[in-house]
Chain A
């Protein structure tokens, strides 16, 4: 069974930093691209970042470019999101989501339960 478990969320002051983790199990993590997607309270989903299976390809949404860094450790079956210079508008539940299992198709398929990040003074 595919499982994705996020951790590392919490309360942080504006301008602060936080590192999120996502532990993967139930599939061969090293062969899948991964994403971070966030959802502000009461709002819709927003794609944040993508990383390929080998970490050779990385993309960010314009809203987080230059402040967030996605990374992964295939030996540890883990995905990370380093978030710096946090702003009030970064307050959201952050989900890690596995990318499409088939090459030539593009969609997040399995999602974790999310971790809440609150940016407030």
Chain B
């Protein structure tokens, strides 16, 4: 299973919006509506931010939103805040209880 492709880094000023793409294949992202997104601060465990493409767990700000088109999923952070600076990973179900993660994107708040 090959890792999903994400941009290495994205950046934005406080209050702006940034979007992170996550490109896979028809065997993972394109084949299932089971894309999730995780935020990871340095030295910390990943935290679930989005699941099932666009659903937010309780407690996650509505500034975070997810979508999918074909083999590419996206995470958008609106109204960027300093605490959003972190690494973000997408994850897709690939069938047979197998998960594929993205390459990771570093979000920098300028």
Contacts and interface: CB of A to CB of B under 8 A. Distances in A.
Interface in B60-110: 89, 91, 93, 96-104
Interface in B26-59: 32, 34, 36, 38, 44-48, 51-52, 57
Contacts of B91: 45, 47, 107-108
Contacts of B48: 107-110
A108 B98 CA distance: 11
Nearest to A107: B36
A35 interface: yes
Given A109-B48, A109-B57, A112-B45, A50 B89 contact: no
B45 A113 contact: yes
What are the 7 tightest A-B residue pairs by CB atom distance, in nearest-first order? A106-B93, A107-B36, A47-B99, A45-B101, A44-B104, A111-B45, A106-B34
Interface of B: 1, 3, 32, 34, 36, 38, 44-48, 51-52, 57, 89, 91, 93, 96-104
A105 interface: yes
A100 B97 contact: no
Q: Place the interface of chain A in its size category.
A: 20 to 34
Nearest to B47: A111
A62 interface: yes
Contacts of B93: 106-107
B97 to A, nearest CB: 4
A27 interface: no
B107 to A, nearest CB: 14
A45 B104 contact: yes
Interface string A56-83: 0101011000000000000000000000
